[in-house]
Amino acid sequence: MIEHNIRIKKCKNCGKYFVLKGDYSTDYCDRIPDGEKFTCKKLAAMKARKKKVQDNPILKYEKAYKRMYAHLSNHKISNEDFRLWAEAAANKRDSSLAEYSSSPSDDIINQFKEYLDNK
């Protein structure tokens, strides 16, 4: 294995060893652990995404986006109204996120949530 430059690593999810593929490093294998539906890589990505959304309340935008998209799918709003809302909400999200990053405050979060709920 050493002669063929095969690199082995221990999966941070299941703890089993796996062979690294390609020239990039990863911490998770492609196996599906017992009792799971997804690979360790996919589970790690899902867990990281969930943590990111939970740690940052400004990202509640995604829930509002999905709600508005459902309105679009059910023909309750037009494509143009959805596009305008999505642009405005994304701009508000970015400005709120920048403001929250510089000085975290519950007021910023509450203002953003109120903005999303009123649309």
Q: What are 44's strand-pairing partners?
A: none
Per-residue pLDDT of the chain (119 residues; tens, 9 = 90+): 657 678 899 999 999 999 998 778 899 999 999 999 999 999 999 999 888 777 676 677 888 899 999 999 999 999 999 999 999 999 998 898 888 888 888 888 888 888 887 76
Is 17 in a helix, a strand, or coil? strand
Rounded Cα distance between 98 and 114, Å, is: 18
pLDDT at residue 105 in the model: 83
Total length of the chain? 119
Neighbours of 97 (CB within 10 A): 16
Expressed in angstroms, the distance from the first to the final Cα of the chain is: 60
- State the amino acid at position 33 in one-letter form: P
